[in-house]
Structure 1
Amino acid sequence: MERMQRRKKFRWKRFILFISFLVVCGVSAYGVYEYKQGVSLAQDGKWKDKDKEADSFHGEDVKFGKINVLLLGSDTRGEEHARTDSIMIAHYDQDTHQPRLISIMRDTYVEIPGHGKQKINAAYAYGGPELLRQTIKENFDIDINYYAVVDFEGFSKITDIVAPDGIEVDVPHEMTYGIGTTINQGIQTLHGDKLLGYVRYRHDNMSDFGRVQRQQEVIGKLEDQALSVSTLIKLPKLLGVIGPYVETNMDTPTMLSLGKDLISNHSNDLKTMRIPVNGSFTNERFNNVGDVLSINLEQNNTAINKFLSS
């Protein structure tokens, strides 16, 4: 009797192990399939066959604590480095679980190491992510740890994976010029190219200020979508798309660790700020660079320190 019970127990354990093995195989097969699906969507990705610049970037590698990631939007159209359309610093504190986003206006007039006073978006054109990291450190005393350059075509595909039902926005007026599509006025649910057009549009009375505001709005809404459990299911596909469309020095384990921390700790709502802050700049024009935002560095650095420590 006792021997029969031991046999039954052994068979039961073997059955559980067999089922567990099938589940692991199924999940792995699903992950591989989804990853390949993502790769197939990124056949024309800019960085599919190009060497990346991670080795030349000298930000401190931080595995835990306060992390700053330089987020750049790029539409190079074949150039080695183009001036970036968007410059943002994503800050995340793994102790407080508070995500923050600083947008730096691309026409902000700063000192670029080795190139004198220029618009800040020229730093990327002159020396890629590393020179932009040095420029931000010299002017704003922010230590950048990682960077990610997102190709605009990739932005459309990535957002459609993260938010397959689209992102709802309130469009203040019709948007057409310069974005390759038409976005009607009113409450709209935008996908892919139209969402990209929404965050890139700048031909109204708010110019780049309106564009930065829309970028922060959309990123905040994408964050809400990205931190849902359903995104974990899409993660293999997302990683497949990201490789060819995103140039970054952040390795996959670090990305997964940050994502897990954000989701498991139910991080707070995204806090945002813009540089230059209100009342800290004047519009000026110089023959060698054109129209710029001439800023009061001390006033902006004080605002940054307050924002990051609040």
Structure 2
Amino acid sequence: MTLQRQTRKKKKVRKFRLFMMVFLIAFLAIGGYAAYQYISASLDANADNNLSDDVVFNGSDENVDNVNVLVMGSDSRGEDGGRADTIMIANYSSDTNQPKLISIMRDTYVNIPGYGYNKINAAYSIGGPELVRKTVTENFGIDINYYAEIDFKGFEKLVDAVAPGGIEVTVTPEMTTDEKALGVELTEGTQKLHGKELLAYSRFRHDANGDYGRVQRQQEVLGKLKKEVAEVTTVAKLPKMIGIANGYVSTNVRNGLLLSMGTDVLRGKTEDMETMRIPMDDTYHDARYDVGAVLEFNVGGLEQNAQEAQTFLNQ
């Protein structure tokens, strides 16, 4: 293999890894100054994150064509302590080249295996990614292959590395009057937001839409980040971005699988991302128990959501 071909191959591998790490809510090294960038960013990220170094996860690590990845976003300094602020199932089928995303609202009231009924995000604080996997499988019948655990501080830094000019979104009037809840000050209107502001935009839930609006914004931001990464052409940026992602994302997704999915994306084979939310409209009601306000399934609602989710992921 010639040196030129080896160089082209290395560039492709870096781009593949970068895209997939961002797709998994922010995502996975080279020499000279580039090596310095990678190592420096990675060390800073590892020292600054809240992720566990010893994660137990018993998902089925099989060579399957239809892959489900449990994606969890957490911030141990947040209002819910160590609970998962974001729970998603990212799916990719090599047969259809279709990326899909299911967002599970954090107040969804489910049976946590061995611990009884609680909000689904409590499973994360009780037993980490493995208990979240068991909870999703038991309640919705979805087989999970891998996990990706993301520290929100890494999201901020990765957004700034991937899109230094920001990501364009529309800030609502409610967001401009809730600086305390957001931790940042936003201005009403369509504009480009950087990492810290974009994270606040994604997590905002103090308006009439509550968590429903937050889920929509998270899915919106992920779709726009996907497009930004696919357009990244400056190889000089890649080491730093990969180093940041490597330090703030804990995942057991195989490198070979990352490269396979990344190849499809960068060759333009993938479709636009399809999304779904659990619980679905008209299948639940608001309720309150000793664990607080929850979203409780109507009679037959859990089964309906489970069936629709399975169909969504496998069609």
1:246-265 alignment to 2 at 5 Å?
Answer: 246-265=249-268
Contact 1:105 1:274 in 2 (8 A): yes
What amino acid is the match of 2:213? G
Q: Deviations over 1:125-162 (max 9, x none)?
A: 11000000000000011111111111111110111222
Unaligned runs of 5+ in 2: 11-29
Q: Deviation at 1:116?
A: 0.7
In the alignment, what sits opposite 1:292? 294
In the alignment, what sits opposite 1:222? 225
Compare relative contact order (CA 8 Å, sep 6+) and give the higher one, 1 or 2.
2
Does the residue aligned with 1:230 lie in a helix, a strand or coil? coil
In the alignment, what sits opposite 2:143? 143
In the alignment, what sits opposite 2:17? none
What amino acid is the match of 1:261? D
User: Normalised by the size of structure 2, how large is the TM-score?
Assistant: 0.83
Contact 2:160 2:195 in 1 (8 A): yes
What amino acid is the match of 1:95? D
Contact 1:227 1:263 in 2 (8 A): yes
What amino acid is the match of 2:292? G
What RMSD, in angstroms, separates the aligned Cα atoms of the two structures?
2.7
Could you say if the C-alpha distance between residues 177 and 266 of structure 1 is closer, same or farther in structure 2, counting changes exceeding 3 Å?
Answer: farther
Q: Deviations over 1:256-295 (max 9, x none)?
A: 3432332224311111111001111000111x21111011
- Aligned residues: percent identity? 48
Contact 2:140 2:307 in 1 (8 A): no
In the alignment, what sits opposite 1:91? 91
Partners of 1:97 and 1:289 lie apart in 2 by: 40
Partners of 2:261 and 2:112 lie apart in 1 by: 31
Unaligned runs of 5+ in 1: 1-15
In the alignment, what sits opposite 2:310? 305
From 186, 189, 193, the counterpart of 2:192: 189
Does the residue aligned with 2:205 lie in a helix, a strand or coil? coil
User: Normalised by the size of structure 1, how large is the TM-score?
Assistant: 0.84
Q: Say if 2:60 is the partner of 1:57.
A: no
Partners of 2:169 and 2:226 lie apart in 1 by: 15
Larger radius of gyration: 1
Q: Deviations over 1:81-108 (max 9, x none)?
A: 8111111111000111100000000000
1:69-80 alignment to 2 at 5 Å?
Answer: 69-77=69-77
In the alignment, what sits opposite 2:156? 156
In the alignment, what sits opposite 1:272? 275
Partners of 2:203 and 2:53 lie apart in 1 by: 27
In the alignment, what sits opposite 2:16? none
From 41, 44, 48, the counterpart of 1:45: 48
